[in-house]
A = this chain, B = another copy of it.
């Protein structure tokens, strides 16, 4: 079955929540190429990751439905005839979650119950793949981190993502709504939001490099991270969606080359041929939720599905920079600029 996971999607009705966002749209592009019937659901909330330009070139081969996954009756309808749901919608800013914990709860926690209740009541045949996050582990006890590590979130966003993930496992085990979760590490690549700095640092760093601006590193930049190119992340979703061996399980999905912030930014500036690195003191509110070094052990997912990361960080950065250089105005516009300062 693992050999045929791409064939599995031919003519298959799938839905992607957060489908106009970063990972969702890249996944949607792969699914279109595989001949799937693709429904993209996105709330297009300003300042979140949804961007209609993300489906440029495939817009006539997907269905787009603007909707909020917090809305039960809408979800009840949309899930009806879908074979696979890639459940990627969410609020991703850690800082926002600490300023406004209720909104984060509604979007990352309660909304997952809405999706799952819709499936339980309208489509128990569906398979759901949830976009989890390494964020749930918090500060690691040891490295690399595998799935046996305690869940110990350091911010409200992490708590709500953990709860959203647990709901999926409960609905798999109790109601037979097949589900699994991929705990993604740092995903990067084309179509990531770079309007502001609150959706992952790497997209923001790439933007600064392209703009030939200083890239600020907090502290000495020695903290390690692993990185996954978005096409590799999308491939992980495809494999999980086609595999019943994954049901009821959580999997780390990370990269193979842990790099320090210092190494990453040095490489980025080199590949871009622009930008420069600047070291600054930790802002207290960020230091309070910093987790030090983190990189994941993804052996469980590799073993279960045959997945591996195929794009090196150097190559991924090169492709990403080329994409944004070509389409910069689609991702950074004058109207959005005030938000950068937030």
User: Residues of A at under 8 Å CB distance from B?
Assistant: 98, 101-102, 105, 109-110, 113, 117, 148, 150-156, 158-160, 162-163, 166-167, 169-170, 173-174, 288-289
Contacts and interface: CB of A to CB of B under 8 A. Distances in A.
Contacts of A159: 163, 166-167, 170
Central interface residue in A98, A148, A150, A166, by most chain B CB within 10 Å: A166
A102 B109 contact: no
Contacts of A288: 173-174
The 3 A-B residue pairs with the shortest CB-CB distance in the complex, in nearest-first order: A163-B163, A159-B166, A174-B288
Nearest to A168: B159
A153 to B, nearest CB: 5
Counting every copy of the chain, the complex holds 2
5 contacts: A113-B156, A153-B170, A159-B166, A159-B167, A160-B163
Contacts of A158: 166, 170
Central interface residue in A163, A173, A174, by most chain B CB within 10 Å: A163
A148 B169 CA distance: 20
B167 A152 contact: no
Contact of A174 (B98, B109, B160, B170): B98
Nearest to A157: B170
B154 A174 contact: yes
A166 B104 CA distance: 14
Given A174-B289, A288-B173, A163 B101 contact: no
Contact of A110 (B105, B162, B169, B170): B105
A98 B117 CA distance: 10
B153 A150 contact: no
A281 to B, nearest CB: 19
B156 A173 contact: no
Contacts of A148: 150
A293 B113 CA distance: 28
Contacts of A160: 163
A208 to B, nearest CB: 27
A37 to B, nearest CB: 30
Contact of A155 (B105, B152, B153, B170): B170
